[in-house]
Amino acid sequence: MRLGGFSSADDLEAMKRILGLWIMGGLLSAAGAVPLPEFLQGLEQSPAYQRNLQEEASSVLALKLAEKASGWQVSGTGGWDQTPAGGTLHSTLQLSLGVLPWSESQRNLSREGRKSRLVLLRLEEEREELRLKAISLYFRLHLLQQQVVAATREAELRSRLHAAATEQHRLGNMKLSEVQQVLRKKTEAEVQQITLEAELQAAHFDALSLGGKGDPTDPLPEVFPSPDEQDLLKALENKPAVQEARFQLEEAQVQLEEAQRSGAPELQVSGSVFQGNFSGQLQFNLQKGTVSSEIGVQSTGQGSGWKASATLRVPLVGSQGANLELAAQKVHEARAHLQEAEQAQVQKLRDELGKKRLLEEHLRLQTLTLRQAEESQKLAQKRLMAGLISEAEQVELQIGLQKSRLDVEKTRVDLYLQCLKLQALLERKNP
């Protein structure tokens, strides 16, 4: 006879012993009973969290390098000029600095700042997700421990019922089909016990990957976070998906400004002085937004004097109009993309709020069912003492009551984690 996928009760017991050894090996790695704060202490040392911190350090370093590159740029040249009249040795020190926002160095710095802001926001969200995952594992471990205890108790009760049914069949008071039904329920309970123990073992391994060790002891808080919907809508601005779209819009606007400047007249003002073997020059380019200077030394004297000049270059024919139109179109597309990203986040938030409301309603109904099961259990106990129902009927009600309690607890865990997920959106820093 085959029941529940096992050829006999002996096969089932053998499998339980094998799985028991495997499960026990993992549980021995736990560090005993721990409260939630202690459970979360190892999170920052987990590989995932450390990778996150390393990426954050790289982003900060890239921004510092960009800041350094936006300062004075210094270079030097030297050479020898030979003419029939003789040779001249000369050297020049060149310095340049972007002083206006549209200079190349300042644009690069601004771009790196926006990229760094976006990366840091994404990394902060990843760290928050890791923290929520660790909290989720903590309370799910706590729930699984309760489920394992309940499943073990059910398996024991059904084993006792099977023994009683077997005896009743031997005495001729129960049909074989009824005994088989009791045996099937016993086997299903034992399989459920093994499955839950395996899930508990897997959850412990998942917790270890996030630095969490030990068996949870803290119950769920009595009061769950309840963030205001309007506050949540305002906080969507900080979501990385929205900030990335905003970054693309800012980039497109910079490109539009560059296209507008490319069609404007270019003004360059310079002045120079020379005295003997030394010379100096200072130059300002309005369109490029830069100031540059040169200091030169040469082996032959060149008298003394000074010179000032101003140059205005006016573009007459070119592709500025087409470039400007293309840049304006990209700004339009980027703005539409930002609106789509904001709408998508609003829809996701409404979905998450919908899940929260659904869980709240589910919990309300399960709580009513639990109260009814408790009343039924009290009544069944009195009827059992009066001899009006059998022990088997009373055990079924007892098992049903325990399952109702665990259903309520599971929904409470799901609801609490959903509330934490929403609350985390408000706690995220502004970019």
166 and 108 in a common domain: yes
Question: By 3-state DSSP, what share of the chain in percent is helix, strand and coil, each rounded to 5?
Answer: 65, 15, 15
**β-strands 215-216, 33-34 pairing:** parallel
What span, in angstroms and rounded, lies between the C-alpha atoms of 123 and 127?
6
One domain for residues 210 and 229: no
Residue 269 within a domain: no
Q: Residues 243, 160: one domain?
A: no
Instruction: Examine residue 413 and state whether it is found in any structural domain, yes or no.
Output: yes
The CA distance from 24 to 201, in Å, is 8
Examine residue 93 and state whether it is found in any structural domain, yes or no.
Answer: no
**Cα(226)–Cα(116) distance, integer angstroms:** 32
Domain match, 245 and 347 both: yes
Q: Answer yes or no: is 414 within a domain.
A: yes
Do the beta carbons of residue 93 and residue 110 sit within 8 Å?
no
For residues 215 and 228, state if they share a domain: no
Q: Are residues 68 and 149 in the same domain?
A: yes
- Tell me the pTM: 0.75
Domain annotation covers residue 310: no
Q: In terms of domains, do 258 and 206 share one?
A: no
Do residues 62 and 161 share a domain? yes
Could you say which of 191, 219, 247 is where a domain stops? 219
Domain count, the chain: 2
- The parent domain of residue 426 ranges over 223-263+320-431
Residues 191 and 254 both lie in one domain: no
256 with 207, same domain: the answer is no
Closest CA to 121 of 236, 232, 231, 243: 243
Is 149 part of any domain? yes
Interhelix angle 391-427/320-385, rounded to 10 degrees, is 150
pLDDT by residue for the chain (431 residues), tens only, comes to 333 344 445 455 545 544 553 444 444 344 578 899 988 888 888 898 999 999 889 888 888 888 787 777 777 776 777 667 666 776 777 777 676 776 777 788 788 888 888 888 888 889 999 999 999 999 999 999 999 999 999 999 999 999 988 988 888 888 999 889 999 999 999 999 999 999 999 999 998 888 888 889 888 988 898 889 899 998 888 888 898 899 899 888 888 888 777 766 777 777 777 776 777 777 877 777 777 777 777 666 666 777 777 777 777 665 566 778 888 999 999 999 999 999 999 999 999 999 999 999 999 999 999 999 999 888 888 887 887 878 888 888 889 999 999 999 999 999 999 999 999 888 765 54
357 and 420 fall within a common domain: yes
Tell me which of 219, 242, 275 is where a domain ends: 219
Considering the domain architecture, whether residues 154 and 258 belong to the same structural domain is answered as no
